[in-house]
Amino acid sequence: MKIALIAHDGKKADMVHFLSGFRDELLKKDVSLVATGTTGKHIEKAGFEVEKLLSGPLGGDAQIAALAAQKELDLVIFFRDPLDKHPHEPDVQMLMRICDVHNIPLATNPAAADMIFKYIISLRH
């Protein structure tokens, strides 16, 4: 299972906190994580192995979208900050659109991500 992780600056701490709650599941061999650059650095610091792509504003969201379009992702977790402005907002919209085009599960806040993770875990046990 390949999971893409993206968090805007105001949500990076939430992302690390969220992932830490599922540490045992995420450290399993058949789970691989890919993230936009700065999000990836935070996730790595928290002790996870993660493939880091470009930072979001430099094209990282677009790279994640390309993976989704190629059906290489099982799940996208994208903690957006709805209270901040982003220079690459078109890329953000494009990533979400591509997830919908290809029916890739997309969680944009911790409550949704928590439900999806718990569901996946229930299927795996």
Ligand X SMILES: O=C(CO)COP(=O)(O)O
> Catalytic positions, please?
61
Residue of 3, 67, 92, 98 interacting with ligand X (CB under 6 A): 92
| Of 20-28, 52-60, 69-77, 99-107: span binding ligand X (CB under 6 A) | 52-60
Nearer to ligand X, 26 or 53 (CB): 53
Is 77 among the residues that bind ligand X (CB under 6 A)?
no
When asked if residue 37 is in the footprint of ligand X (CB under 6 A), the reply is yes
Residues near ligand X (CB under 6 A), total: 14
Q: Quick check: 64 and 76 in contact, CB under 8 A? A: yes
Six-digit token string for 72: 């290489």
**CB of 68 vs ligand X, minimal distance in Å:** 14
Identify whether the C-beta of residue 2 lies closer than 8 Å to the C-beta of residue 74. Answer: yes
DSSP per residue, 35-59: E-HHHHHHHHHTT---EE---GGGT
Q: HSE-up of 23 (CA within 13 Å, CB side)?
A: 9
Q: Does 16 bind ligand X (CB under 6 A)?
A: no
Alpha carbons 108 and 6: distance in angstroms, whole number: 9
15 near ligand X, judged by CB under 6 A: no
The annotated binding site for substrate is made up of: 8, 12, 36-39, 55-56, 88
